[in-house]
Amino acid sequence: MIIVTGGAGFIGSAVVWELNRRGIDDILIVDRLGATEKWHNLVNLRYSEYHHKDQFLRDLRHDGLPSGTTAVVHMGACSSTTERDADYLMFNNVHYTRDLARACAAAGVRLVYASSAATYGDGSQGYSDDVATLDRLRPLSIYGYSKHLIDLWMRREGLLDNAVGFKFFNVFGVNEYHKGEMRSMALKAWEQVQEHHHVKLFASHRPGHADGGETRDFLYVKDAAATVARALEVDIPGGIYNLGTGAPRTFKDVVLAVFAALGREPDIDWVAMPVKLRDQYQYYTCAEMEKARAVGLPVPATPLEEAVGDYVRGYLERGRAHLGGEG
Protein backbone atom coordinates (compact mmCIF):
# COMPACT_ATOMS: atom_id res chain seq x y z
CA MET A 1 0.00 0.00 0.00
CA ILE A 2 1.18 3.51 -0.86
CA ILE A 3 0.10 6.40 1.37
CA VAL A 4 -0.42 9.76 -0.32
CA THR A 5 -0.94 12.66 2.08
CA GLY A 6 -2.62 15.66 0.52
CA GLY A 7 -4.02 13.11 -1.91
CA ALA A 8 -7.09 15.21 -2.66
CA GLY A 9 -5.00 18.32 -3.30
CA PHE A 10 -3.38 19.60 -6.45
CA ILE A 11 -0.11 17.69 -6.79
CA GLY A 12 -1.18 14.85 -4.50
CA SER A 13 -4.21 13.96 -6.60
CA ALA A 14 -2.08 14.13 -9.75
CA VAL A 15 0.33 11.64 -8.14
CA VAL A 16 -2.58 9.28 -7.40
CA TRP A 17 -3.67 9.67 -11.04
CA GLU A 18 -0.18 8.79 -12.22
CA LEU A 19 -0.02 5.76 -9.91
CA ASN A 20 -3.39 4.62 -11.29
CA ARG A 21 -1.97 4.94 -14.81
CA ARG A 22 0.80 2.58 -13.69
CA GLY A 23 -1.73 0.03 -12.46
CA ILE A 24 -1.46 0.93 -8.76
CA ASP A 25 -4.67 1.47 -6.78
CA ASP A 26 -3.85 0.11 -3.31
CA ILE A 27 -3.54 3.67 -2.06
CA LEU A 28 -4.45 5.30 1.25
CA ILE A 29 -5.32 8.97 0.74
CA VAL A 30 -4.81 11.28 3.71
CA ASP A 31 -6.29 14.76 3.56
CA ARG A 32 -8.80 17.16 5.07
CA LEU A 33 -11.73 17.77 2.75
CA GLY A 34 -13.85 19.94 5.02
CA ALA A 35 -16.29 22.13 3.12
CA THR A 36 -13.94 22.57 0.15
CA GLU A 37 -14.42 21.34 -3.40
CA LYS A 38 -11.29 19.17 -3.27
CA TRP A 39 -13.39 16.01 -3.10
CA HIS A 40 -14.02 16.42 -6.82
CA ASN A 41 -10.34 15.59 -7.41
CA LEU A 42 -11.00 12.10 -6.03
CA VAL A 43 -14.01 11.17 -8.15
CA ASN A 44 -12.07 9.79 -11.12
CA LEU A 45 -9.30 8.16 -9.07
CA ARG A 46 -8.91 4.61 -7.77
CA TYR A 47 -7.81 4.22 -4.15
CA SER A 48 -8.49 1.82 -1.30
CA GLU A 49 -9.07 4.13 1.70
CA TYR A 50 -9.35 7.74 2.85
CA HIS A 51 -8.29 9.01 6.30
CA HIS A 52 -8.67 12.49 7.76
CA LYS A 53 -5.24 14.04 8.34
CA ASP A 54 -5.77 14.58 12.08
CA GLN A 55 -6.89 11.01 12.72
CA PHE A 56 -4.03 9.71 10.61
CA LEU A 57 -1.53 11.69 12.70
CA ARG A 58 -3.00 10.40 15.98
CA ASP A 59 -2.82 6.82 14.71
CA LEU A 60 0.71 7.39 13.40
CA ARG A 61 1.95 8.66 16.75
CA HIS A 62 0.33 5.75 18.57
CA ASP A 63 0.88 2.81 16.23
CA GLY A 64 3.30 3.92 13.53
CA LEU A 65 2.58 3.39 9.84
CA PRO A 66 -0.31 1.11 8.87
CA SER A 67 0.66 -2.50 8.26
CA GLY A 68 1.57 -3.20 4.65
CA THR A 69 2.76 0.31 3.84
CA THR A 70 5.40 0.17 1.11
CA ALA A 71 5.94 3.90 0.48
CA VAL A 72 4.69 7.32 1.55
CA VAL A 73 4.23 10.35 -0.70
CA HIS A 74 3.89 13.36 1.57
CA MET A 75 2.29 16.20 -0.37
CA GLY A 76 0.04 17.28 2.50
CA ALA A 77 0.99 20.74 3.71
CA CYS A 78 -0.08 24.36 3.56
CA SER A 79 1.09 25.40 0.09
CA SER A 80 0.15 29.06 0.29
CA THR A 81 3.30 31.13 -0.22
CA THR A 82 1.51 34.13 1.35
CA GLU A 83 0.32 32.37 4.54
CA ARG A 84 1.31 34.53 7.54
CA ASP A 85 0.30 32.29 10.48
CA ALA A 86 3.74 31.03 11.49
CA ASP A 87 2.45 28.77 14.27
CA TYR A 88 0.12 27.02 11.83
CA LEU A 89 2.93 26.49 9.35
CA MET A 90 5.26 25.19 12.04
CA PHE A 91 2.73 22.55 13.05
CA ASN A 92 1.29 21.69 9.66
CA ASN A 93 4.44 21.83 7.53
CA VAL A 94 7.23 21.10 10.01
CA HIS A 95 6.08 18.95 12.94
CA TYR A 96 3.66 16.83 10.90
CA THR A 97 6.43 16.06 8.40
CA ARG A 98 8.89 15.22 11.17
CA ASP A 99 6.51 12.70 12.71
CA LEU A 100 5.89 11.08 9.35
CA ALA A 101 9.60 10.97 8.50
CA ARG A 102 10.43 9.31 11.82
CA ALA A 103 7.73 6.68 11.25
CA CYS A 104 8.99 5.96 7.73
CA ALA A 105 12.57 5.61 8.98
CA ALA A 106 11.48 3.25 11.78
CA ALA A 107 9.60 1.05 9.30
CA GLY A 108 12.26 1.20 6.57
CA VAL A 109 9.70 2.71 4.18
CA ARG A 110 10.62 5.16 1.44
CA LEU A 111 9.36 8.71 1.97
CA VAL A 112 8.94 11.19 -0.87
CA TYR A 113 8.12 14.66 0.48
CA ALA A 114 7.46 18.13 -0.91
CA SER A 115 9.99 20.85 -0.35
CA SER A 116 9.83 24.04 -2.40
CA ALA A 117 11.79 26.41 -4.61
CA ALA A 118 10.65 29.08 -2.13
CA THR A 119 13.54 27.88 0.05
CA TYR A 120 15.93 29.62 -2.36
CA GLY A 121 14.72 33.08 -1.37
CA ASP A 122 15.81 35.81 -3.76
CA GLY A 123 18.05 33.41 -5.65
CA SER A 124 21.25 35.23 -4.75
CA GLN A 125 22.72 31.95 -3.45
CA GLY A 126 21.87 30.11 -6.65
CA TYR A 127 19.56 27.14 -7.22
CA SER A 128 21.80 24.19 -6.42
CA ASP A 129 20.12 21.18 -4.79
CA ASP A 130 23.37 20.02 -3.21
CA VAL A 131 22.53 19.51 0.49
CA ALA A 132 25.86 21.13 1.40
CA THR A 133 24.42 24.47 0.22
CA LEU A 134 21.35 24.42 2.48
CA ASP A 135 22.90 26.48 5.27
CA ARG A 136 23.35 29.56 3.14
CA LEU A 137 19.75 29.77 1.89
CA ARG A 138 17.54 32.57 3.21
CA PRO A 139 13.82 32.12 2.32
CA LEU A 140 11.78 35.29 1.88
CA SER A 141 8.52 33.97 3.38
CA ILE A 142 7.50 31.93 6.42
CA TYR A 143 6.14 29.32 3.99
CA GLY A 144 9.56 28.96 2.36
CA TYR A 145 11.19 28.92 5.80
CA SER A 146 8.92 26.06 6.96
CA LYS A 147 10.03 23.97 3.98
CA HIS A 148 13.66 24.92 4.54
CA LEU A 149 13.48 23.80 8.17
CA ILE A 150 12.40 20.32 7.08
CA ASP A 151 15.25 20.02 4.58
CA LEU A 152 17.74 21.03 7.28
CA TRP A 153 16.18 18.66 9.82
CA MET A 154 16.13 15.70 7.42
CA ARG A 155 19.83 16.24 6.74
CA ARG A 156 20.71 16.71 10.42
CA GLU A 157 18.82 13.57 11.48
CA GLY A 158 20.43 11.49 8.74
CA LEU A 159 17.06 10.58 7.21
CA LEU A 160 17.83 11.35 3.58
CA ASP A 161 19.31 7.95 2.77
CA ASN A 162 15.86 6.48 2.11
CA ALA A 163 13.90 9.68 1.56
CA VAL A 164 13.52 11.96 -1.45
CA GLY A 165 12.66 15.63 -0.99
CA PHE A 166 11.57 17.54 -4.07
CA LYS A 167 12.04 21.30 -4.31
CA PHE A 168 9.01 21.94 -6.51
CA PHE A 169 9.25 24.96 -8.75
CA ASN A 170 6.13 26.58 -10.29
CA VAL A 171 3.70 23.72 -10.86
CA PHE A 172 0.54 24.37 -12.86
CA GLY A 173 -2.19 22.33 -14.47
CA VAL A 174 -5.26 20.21 -13.92
CA ASN A 175 -6.76 19.84 -10.39
CA GLU A 176 -5.63 23.26 -9.13
CA TYR A 177 -9.03 25.00 -9.41
CA HIS A 178 -9.60 24.96 -5.62
CA LYS A 179 -6.39 26.78 -4.68
CA GLY A 180 -7.78 30.31 -4.55
CA GLU A 181 -5.10 32.96 -5.02
CA MET A 182 -2.50 30.19 -5.33
CA ARG A 183 -3.98 29.11 -8.68
CA SER A 184 -1.46 29.34 -11.49
CA MET A 185 -1.14 32.20 -13.94
CA ALA A 186 -2.30 29.83 -16.68
CA LEU A 187 -5.64 29.20 -14.96
CA LYS A 188 -6.09 32.82 -13.88
CA ALA A 189 -5.37 34.02 -17.40
CA TRP A 190 -7.90 31.60 -18.90
CA GLU A 191 -10.54 32.73 -16.38
CA GLN A 192 -9.87 36.41 -17.13
CA VAL A 193 -10.12 35.85 -20.87
CA GLN A 194 -13.49 34.13 -20.41
CA GLU A 195 -14.85 36.98 -18.31
CA HIS A 196 -13.07 40.11 -19.55
CA HIS A 197 -11.40 39.12 -22.85
CA HIS A 198 -8.10 40.46 -21.51
CA VAL A 199 -5.55 39.51 -18.82
CA LYS A 200 -4.07 41.59 -16.00
CA LEU A 201 -0.37 41.16 -15.21
CA PHE A 202 1.83 42.86 -12.64
CA ALA A 203 3.95 45.66 -14.00
CA SER A 204 7.56 45.36 -12.92
CA HIS A 205 8.45 46.99 -9.60
CA ARG A 206 12.20 46.54 -10.11
CA PRO A 207 14.26 48.75 -12.42
CA GLY A 208 15.76 46.85 -15.31
CA HIS A 209 12.96 44.26 -15.44
CA ALA A 210 10.41 44.52 -18.23
CA ASP A 211 6.71 44.29 -17.42
CA GLY A 212 5.75 40.62 -17.36
CA GLY A 213 9.42 39.72 -17.60
CA GLU A 214 9.63 38.01 -14.22
CA THR A 215 10.71 34.44 -14.89
CA ARG A 216 9.75 31.15 -13.28
CA ASP A 217 10.55 27.54 -13.94
CA PHE A 218 7.03 26.51 -14.92
CA LEU A 219 6.35 22.79 -14.48
CA TYR A 220 3.32 20.92 -15.82
CA VAL A 221 1.64 18.90 -13.09
CA LYS A 222 1.59 15.73 -15.22
CA ASP A 223 5.38 15.89 -15.50
CA ALA A 224 5.70 16.54 -11.77
CA ALA A 225 3.55 13.51 -10.93
CA ALA A 226 5.55 11.23 -13.23
CA THR A 227 8.80 12.28 -11.56
CA VAL A 228 7.39 11.73 -8.06
CA ALA A 229 6.19 8.25 -9.04
CA ARG A 230 9.64 7.39 -10.38
CA ALA A 231 11.22 8.46 -7.09
CA LEU A 232 9.31 5.69 -5.30
CA GLU A 233 11.48 3.12 -7.04
CA VAL A 234 14.39 1.85 -4.97
CA ASP A 235 17.12 2.50 -7.55
CA ILE A 236 16.71 6.27 -7.09
CA PRO A 237 19.13 7.37 -4.35
CA GLY A 238 17.69 9.30 -1.43
CA GLY A 239 18.38 13.01 -1.17
CA ILE A 240 17.01 16.44 -2.04
CA TYR A 241 16.32 17.19 -5.70
CA ASN A 242 15.07 20.16 -7.65
CA LEU A 243 11.91 19.49 -9.60
CA GLY A 244 11.57 21.88 -12.51
CA THR A 245 12.42 21.99 -16.18
CA GLY A 246 15.69 23.92 -16.05
CA ALA A 247 14.20 26.28 -18.68
CA PRO A 248 12.72 29.42 -17.08
CA ARG A 249 10.02 31.37 -18.91
CA THR A 250 8.27 34.65 -18.23
CA PHE A 251 4.76 35.25 -16.94
CA LYS A 252 4.11 37.03 -20.22
CA ASP A 253 5.05 33.80 -22.05
CA VAL A 254 2.39 31.94 -20.05
CA VAL A 255 -0.29 34.48 -20.89
CA LEU A 256 0.65 34.49 -24.56
CA ALA A 257 0.46 30.67 -24.57
CA VAL A 258 -3.08 30.86 -23.13
CA PHE A 259 -4.18 33.30 -25.83
CA ALA A 260 -2.56 31.07 -28.47
CA ALA A 261 -4.32 27.97 -27.12
CA LEU A 262 -7.62 29.87 -27.40
CA GLY A 263 -6.84 31.18 -30.87
CA ARG A 264 -7.17 34.79 -29.68
CA GLU A 265 -5.05 37.89 -30.12
CA PRO A 266 -3.19 38.83 -26.90
CA ASP A 267 -4.68 41.65 -24.79
CA ILE A 268 -2.75 42.43 -21.58
CA ASP A 269 -3.40 45.15 -18.97
CA TRP A 270 -0.49 46.05 -16.68
CA VAL A 271 -1.29 46.70 -13.00
CA ALA A 272 0.90 47.76 -10.08
CA MET A 273 2.30 45.02 -7.88
CA PRO A 274 0.70 45.02 -4.38
CA VAL A 275 2.97 46.52 -1.73
CA LYS A 276 2.68 43.41 0.48
CA LEU A 277 4.25 41.25 -2.23
CA ARG A 278 7.16 43.47 -3.24
CA ASP A 279 9.65 42.46 -0.56
CA GLN A 280 9.13 38.70 -0.97
CA TYR A 281 8.71 38.54 -4.73
CA GLN A 282 11.08 36.33 -6.69
CA TYR A 283 12.04 37.83 -10.04
CA TYR A 284 13.89 34.77 -11.32
CA THR A 285 13.87 31.06 -10.55
CA CYS A 286 15.48 28.22 -12.46
CA ALA A 287 15.96 24.66 -11.29
CA GLU A 288 19.39 23.12 -11.69
CA MET A 289 18.45 19.63 -12.87
CA GLU A 290 21.84 17.96 -13.35
CA LYS A 291 21.66 16.03 -10.06
CA ALA A 292 18.19 14.64 -10.82
CA ARG A 293 19.17 13.74 -14.37
CA ALA A 294 22.30 11.92 -13.17
CA VAL A 295 20.36 9.49 -10.94
CA GLY A 296 17.73 8.62 -13.55
CA LEU A 297 14.86 10.86 -12.54
CA PRO A 298 12.85 11.97 -15.58
CA VAL A 299 13.51 15.67 -16.08
CA PRO A 300 10.16 17.27 -17.00
CA ALA A 301 10.38 18.27 -20.63
CA THR A 302 6.90 19.21 -21.87
CA PRO A 303 7.40 22.62 -23.52
CA LEU A 304 5.42 25.45 -21.93
CA GLU A 305 3.25 26.09 -24.99
CA GLU A 306 2.43 22.39 -25.34
CA ALA A 307 1.62 22.04 -21.64
CA VAL A 308 -0.59 25.14 -21.59
CA GLY A 309 -2.30 23.94 -24.75
CA ASP A 310 -3.07 20.54 -23.20
CA TYR A 311 -4.38 22.20 -20.05
CA VAL A 312 -6.53 24.79 -21.84
CA ARG A 313 -7.85 22.77 -24.77
CA GLY A 314 -7.90 19.33 -23.15
CA TYR A 315 -9.47 20.33 -19.84
CA LEU A 316 -10.54 23.94 -19.26
CA GLU A 317 -12.24 24.48 -22.61
CA ARG A 318 -13.95 21.09 -22.36
CA GLY A 319 -15.32 21.80 -18.88
CA ARG A 320 -13.11 19.11 -17.33
CA ALA A 321 -11.45 20.40 -14.19
CA HIS A 322 -10.11 17.05 -12.97
CA LEU A 323 -7.63 14.38 -13.97
CA GLY A 324 -8.98 10.93 -14.70
CA GLY A 325 -11.30 9.50 -17.30
CA GLU A 326 -9.40 11.22 -20.12
CA GLY A 327 -10.11 8.38 -22.55
Under 8 Å between Cβ of 119 and 139:
yes
Which residues, 6 or more positions from 267, have their beta carbon under 8 angstroms from its beta carbon? 197, 198, 199, 259
Contacts of 307 (CB under 8 A, 6+ apart): 172, 173, 218, 220, 222, 223
Burial grade of 198 (CB within 10 A; 0-12, 13-18, 19 or more): middle
**Set 113, 120, 127, 143: catalytic member:** 143
Residues ≥6 apart with Cβ < 8 Å to 35: none
Could you confirm whether 179 is annotated as catalytic? yes
Cα distance between residue 114 and residue 266, in whole Å: 35
Can 143 be counted among the known catalytic residues? yes
Candidates 277, 244, 300; CA nearest to 116 is 244
SS3 readout for 210-273: CCCCCEECEEEHHHHHHHHHHHCCCCCCCEEEEECCCCCEEHHHHHHHHHHHHCCCCCEEEECC
Q: Which of 179, 200, 284, 291 is catalytic?
A: 179
Which residues are marked as active site? 143, 179
